[in-house]
A and B are shown apart, each in its own frame.
Chain A
Amino acid sequence: MELWYTENHSKDVQFSMKVDRQLYSGKSHFQRIDVLETPEFGRVLTLDGFIMVTEKDEFIYHDMIVHVPMAVNPDIRRVLLIGAGDGGAVRELVRYPGIEQIDMVEIDQMVVDVCKSYLPKVASGFGDPRLHLHFEDGLRYVRFQENRYDLIIVDSTDPFGPGEGLFTKEFYGNCYKALTEKGILVNQHESPFYAQDAQAMQRAHSRIRAFFPVSRVYQAHIPTYPSGHWLFGFASKGLDPVKDLQAQRWNSLGLYTRYYNTELHQGAFALPTYVKELLEQVQREG
Chain B
Amino acid sequence: MERNQREAPIMEALNRLREARIVPFDVPGHKRGRGNKELTEFLGQQCLSVDVNSMKMLDNLCHPVSVIARAERLAADAFHAKHAFFMVNGTTSAVQSMVMAACKRGEKIIMPRNVHRSAINALILSGATPVYVNPGVDQRLGIPLGMSVNDVVKAMDENPDAKAVLVNNPTYYGICSNLREIVRLAHDRGMLVLADEAHGTHFYFGENMPVSAMDAGADMASVSMHKSGGSLTQSSFLLVNNQVSPGYVRQIINLTQTTSGSYLLMSSLDISRRNLALHGKSIFRTVCDMAQYTREEINRIGGYYAYSRELVNGDDIFDFDITKLSVYTLDIGLAGIEVYDILRDEFDIQIEFGDIGNILAYISVGDRRLDLERLCSALSEIKRRFSKDRTGMFDHEYINPQVRMTPQQAFYGEKRSLPIRESTGQVCSEFVMCYPPGIPILAPGEYITQEILDYILYAKEKGCFMTGTEDPTIEHINVLA
Which chain B residues lie closer than 8 Å to A142 at the CB level?
Answer: 377
Instruction: For B378, give its contact among A162, A164, A170 (CB under 8 Å).
Output: A170
Complex formed: what's the CA distance from A168 to B377 in Å?
Answer: 10
Binds B, one of A5-13, A111-119, A171-179, A223-231: A171-179
Kindly state the interface size class of chain A when it binds its partner: 10 to 19
Interface residue ranges of B338-376 to A (CB < 8 Å): 346-347, 369-370, 373-374, 376
Chain B residues within 8 Å of A164, by CB: 370
B373 contacts A169, CB within 8 Å? no
Q: Which of B300, B301, B374, B385 contacts A168 (CB 8 A)?
A: B374
Q: Which residues of A contact B370 (CB under 8 A)?
A: 137, 139, 162, 164-165
How many angstroms between the C-alpha atoms of A137 and B384 in the bound complex? 20
With A140-B297, A144-B300, A165-B374 as known contacts, state yes or no: A174 contacts B369, CB within 8 Å.
no
Docked-complex contact B381 and A170, CB < 8 angstroms: yes
Determine how close the nearest CB of chain A comes to the CB of B286; give it in whole angstroms.
14
A276 within 8 A of B: no
A140–B373 contact, CB under 8 A?
Answer: yes
Q: How far is the CA of A164 from the CA of B301 in the complex (A)?
A: 22
Instruction: Tell me if B380 is interfacial: C-beta within 8 Å of chain A.
Output: yes
Residues of chain B within 8 A of A139, CB atoms compared? 370, 373-374, 377
Give the residue among B347, B377, B378 with the most A Cβ atoms within 10 A: B377
For B382, the closest partner residue in chain A by CB is A170
Chain A residues 123 to 175 lying within 8 A of chain B, measured CB to CB, are 137, 139-140, 142-144, 162, 164-165, 168-171, 173-174
Bound form: Cα–Cα A110–B246 in Å: 57
**B376 near A143 (CB under 8 angstroms)?**
yes
Q: A165: which B residues are within 8 A, CB to CB? A: 370, 373-374, 377
Majority secondary structure, A binding face: helix
Please tell me if the beta carbons of B381 and A173 are within 8 angstroms of each other in the complex: yes
Listed residue (B300, B347, B370) with the most chain A CB atoms within 10 angstroms of its CB: B370
Q: Determine the distance from Cα of A177 to Cα of B384 in the docked complex, in whole angstroms.
A: 9
In the complex, how many residue pairs between chain A and chain B have their CB atoms under 8 Å apart? 47
CB neighbours of B376 from chain A (8 A)? 140, 143
Let me know if B380 and A137 touch, CB within 8 A: no
Which residues of the other chain, A, contact B347 by a CB distance below 8 angstroms?
Answer: 168-170
Residues of B265-307 at the interface with A, using a CB-CB cut-off of 8 Å, are 297, 300-301
Chain A residues near B346 (CB-CB < 8 A): 169
A146 to chain B minimum Cβ distance, whole angstroms, is 9
Are A137 and B301 touching (Cβ within 8 A)? Answer: no
A165 and B371 CA atoms in complex are apart in Å by: 8
Q: How far is the CA of A173 from the CA of B385 in the complex (A)?
A: 9
Known A165-B370, A169-B346, A170-B347; judge A140-B377 contact (CB<8 A): yes
- Give CA–CA (A164, B374) in the complex, Å: 10
B381 contacts A169, CB within 8 Å? yes
Please measure, in the bound complex, the distance between the C-alpha atom of A177 and the C-alpha atom of B380, giving whole angstroms.
11
How close is A107's CB to chain B, nearest CB, in angstroms? 9
Q: Whole-angstrom distance from the CB of A30 to the nearest CB of chain B? A: 9
For the complex formed, measure the closest distance between the CB of B289 and the CB atoms of chain A, giving whole angstroms. Answer: 14
Give chain A residues whose Cβ lies under 8 Å from the Cβ of B300: 144
Contact (Cβ within 8 A) A171 B377: yes
A273-B115 Cα distance, complex, nearest whole Å: 61
What CA separation (Å) do A177 and B297 show in the bound complex?
18
A177–B301 CA distance with the chains assembled, in angstroms: 13
Cross-chain contact A174 with B373 (CB below 8 angstroms): no
Nearest CB of chain B from residue A268's CB, rounded to whole Å: 31
The residues of A that contact B377 with a CB separation of less than 8 Å are 139-140, 142-143, 165, 168, 170-171, 173-174
Instruction: Report chain B residues within 8 Å CB of A168.
Output: 347, 374, 377
Instruction: With both chains docked as a complex, state the minimum distance between the C-beta of B417 and any C-beta of chain A, in angstroms.
Output: 43
Indicate if the CB atoms of A143 and B384 lie closer than 8 Å. Answer: no
- B27: shortest Cβ distance to chain A, in Å? 40
- Knowing A170-B347, A173-B385, the reply to whether A143 touches B380 (Cβ < 8 A) is yes
**A143–B380 CA distance with the chains assembled, in angstroms:** 7
Q: Select which of A144, A170, A177 is within 8 A of B374 by beta carbon.
A: A170
Segment 173-192 of A: residues with Cβ below 8 Å from B: 173-174, 177
Which residue in chain B gives the minimum CB-CB distance to A141?
A: B373
**Is the pair B301, A173 in contact by a Cβ cutoff of 8 Å?**
no
B384-A173 in contact (CB<8A) = yes
Asked if residues A174 and B380 are in contact (CB atoms below 8 Å), the reply is yes
Q: Which residue of B lies closest to A163 (CB)?
A: B370
**Within 8 Å CB of B380, what residues of A?**
143, 170, 174
**Nearest CB in chain A to that of B380: its residue:** A143
Contacts of A137 in B (CB 8 A): 369-370, 373
Minimum CB–CB distance for A211 against chain B, Å: 9
Docked Cα-Cα span, A93 to B278, in Å, equals: 52
Closest to B371 in A: A165
Measured CA separation A77–B22 after assembly (Å): 74
- Give the shortest distance, in Å, between A241 (CB) and chain B (any CB): 26
Residues of chain B within 8 A (CB-CB) of A169 are: 346-347, 378, 381
Which residue among A144, A168, A170 has the maximum number of chain B CB atoms within 10 Å of its CB? A170
In the docked arrangement, what's the CA distance between A73 and B402, Å? 69
Give Cα distance in the complex from A156 to B376, angstroms. Answer: 20
Of all A-B residue pairs in the complex, the 3 with the closest CB atoms, nearest first, are A170-B377, A170-B378, A173-B381
16 new A-B contacts at CB < 8 Å, known A165-B373, A169-B347, A173-B384: A137-B369, A139-B370, A139-B374, A140-B373, A140-B376, A142-B377, A143-B373, A143-B377, A143-B380, A164-B370, A168-B374, A170-B347, A170-B381, A173-B377, A174-B381, A177-B384
A-B contact pairs, 28 of them (CB 8 A): A139-B370, A139-B373, A139-B374, A140-B297, A143-B376, A143-B377, A143-B380, A144-B300, A165-B370, A165-B374, A165-B377, A168-B374, A168-B377, A169-B346, A169-B347, A169-B378, A170-B347, A170-B374, A170-B378, A170-B380, A170-B381, A171-B377, A173-B377, A173-B381, A173-B385, A174-B377, A174-B381, A177-B384
